Amino acid sequence: MPRVEIARKGSVAVVVAHPDDESIGFGALISRFPKCLMIHVTDGAPRNPHYWRNLGFTSKEQYAATRTRELDQALRIVGHTGPRSCLGVEDLRAVHEFVPIVRRLTQLFTAHRVETVYTHAFEGGHPDHDATAFAVHAAARLSKRAHPIKIVEAPFYCPGGDGQLIWQHLFPVWGCGEVVAVLHGREEEIKRRMYAAHQSQAEVLKYASLNVERFRHAPAYDFGKPPNKGLLSNIYLEAGISAERWTTLVKRANKALRI
């Protein structure tokens, strides 16, 4: 991996929504920060059996346990030895748990003296991804640090105008340059092995890049407006989250958090 200018020394945290998101967005990068604080917001297991029954699982709990084991294996491959935390939110429910997520992230950022957080872009692809982005930005504001926490984001997927998902593409934002890390050799092989570890997610991971990771300093989003100018993926609809519902939940959380 070429030198990534936005990777800083100091305490680093990777905060993602689901087991496998760390591999998609930051697999090779984690090898540069093997002692980073690793935080997963959800357990990766939705309540609706539609998401796991067709994969051969008989219960939500069995699916969640499998995803945890896959994560363990993926992090061993990349050599991660840092502290880990799973906030245990149910998959597809993060938007309904804004306040406790933000408060827990604030505690973790403060306790571990976090200086830089790598997380999701705010893009309209998955409500848990965007809820995680909101929570990271809110927690960074609330954390008791002597200087601001830097937030670096990576793209995952978002809907395009034709309804098809666009994978790992950062839409231009004025003043926010993009770093493209092209992976070769050992780092590409590490990422390939991490993907393979998440066996239950093979159908999704076949769309994710093996040889490119993209990053940028996160812009100052207005989370009170829906992501992607209100163009949301079908996953949002399946979760019952409209653009209007997103706005309502964010405003309610901001009021409770006094942001």
pLDDT tens, residue by residue, 85-139: 999 999 999 999 999 999 999 999 999 999 999 999 999 999 999 999 999 999 9
* The token pair that represents 259 in the structure block: 């942001």
| Residue range 12-257 in CATH 3.40.50.10320 | yes
Alpha-carbon distances of 211 from 115, 198, 208, rounded to whole Å: 27, 17, 9
pLDDT of residue 127: 98
Q: What is the DSSP letter of 6?
A: T
Token pair belonging to 61: 């709990």
pLDDT of residue 147: 77
Indicate the average pLDDT of the chain: 94
Taking the whole predicted model, whether its pTM rises above 0.85 is answered as yes
Burial class (CB in 10 A: 0-12, 13-18, 19+), 175: exposed
Choice among 6-15, 28-37, 127-136 with the minimum mean pLDDT: 6-15
Percent of the chain with pLDDT over 70: 95
Q: What pLDDT is recorded for position 97? A: 98
For residue 121, which of 134, 139, 109, 108 has the smallest C-alpha distance?
134
Instruction: Find residue 179's DSSP bridge partners.
Output: 215
36 residue type, one letter: C
| 41-61 confidence digits (pLDDT tens) | 999 999 999 999 999 999 999
Query: How many C-alpha atoms does 257 have within 13 Å on its Cβ side?
Result: 26
pLDDT of 251 over the 60 cut: yes
Torsion of CA 209, 132, 72, 116, to 10 degrees: 80
DSSP 130: H
Measured CA to CA, the distance from residue 49 to residue 59 in angstroms comes to 8
Q: Environment class of residue 136 by beta-carbon count within 10 Å: exposed (0-12), middle (13-18) or buried (19+)?
A: buried
Tell whether the model's pLDDT for residue 2 goes beyond 50.
Answer: no
CA–CA separation, 252 vs 95, rounded Å? 11
Q: From CA 120, how far away is CA 107, in angstroms rounded?
A: 20
The number of beta carbons lying within 10 Å of the beta carbon of residue 173 is: 15
Q: Is the pLDDT of residue 231 over 60?
A: yes
Is residue 161 scored above 90 in pLDDT? no
